[in-house]
Amino acid sequence: MGEAPKSYMDGFKGFWCQKLAYLENYTRFTKRDKPLPSWSESDVETFIASDPVHGPVLKTAREAVKYGLVGSAVGAVTTAGFCWKHSKSPHGAVLALGAGAVFGWTFGHEIANHTLQLYRLDTMTAQTKFMEWWEKKTDGRS
């Protein structure tokens, strides 16, 4: 066992630092002196074709986004429509639209997780490898 936290806030901060440690994978790309230039769809496709290990994983992760978008649209429209039908409240319909979009995105992502078996893939590593590849390409080292 480790040493007990000195205060409640120390324990709280430590807990969230552990849970969000994965964000450190992207820090070297987000906290650069000169930001990375934007990439296009063709750049991503070039990476997918060039990397036999991480390319297919990145492609699958990008397909999962489509599930989330469809889920978000369906969730937003159905909850806002249901709210409007039963309450005729504009602000309630707008809130239901936002909540439905978030819930729909979550459900769509879960469907993608099971359908595309994302739980078997290391999508974060594939995304990091793409960022490394893009960094090398744009810095003129490839």
- Please check the confidence at residue 142 and state whether its pLDDT lies above 50: no
Residue 142: count of CB within 10 angstroms of its CB: 10
Average pLDDT, the chain: 87
**pLDDT for res 36:** 84
**Four-point Cα dihedral 102, 105, 110, 114, nearest 10:** 180
Query: How do residues 4-43 score in pLDDT, each as one tens digit?
Result: 556 766 777 777 777 766 667 777 777 778 888 889 999 9
| Amino acid, res. 65 | V
Per-residue pLDDT reduced to its tens digit, 30-87? 777 888 888 999 999 999 999 999 999 999 999 999 999 999 999 999 999 999 999 9
| Residue in the structure block whose two tokens are 């090398």 | 136
Q: Which tokens hold the place of 131?
A: 């960022």
For 49, counting Cβ atoms within 10 Å of its Cβ (0-12 exposed, 13-18 middle, 19+ buried), the class is exposed
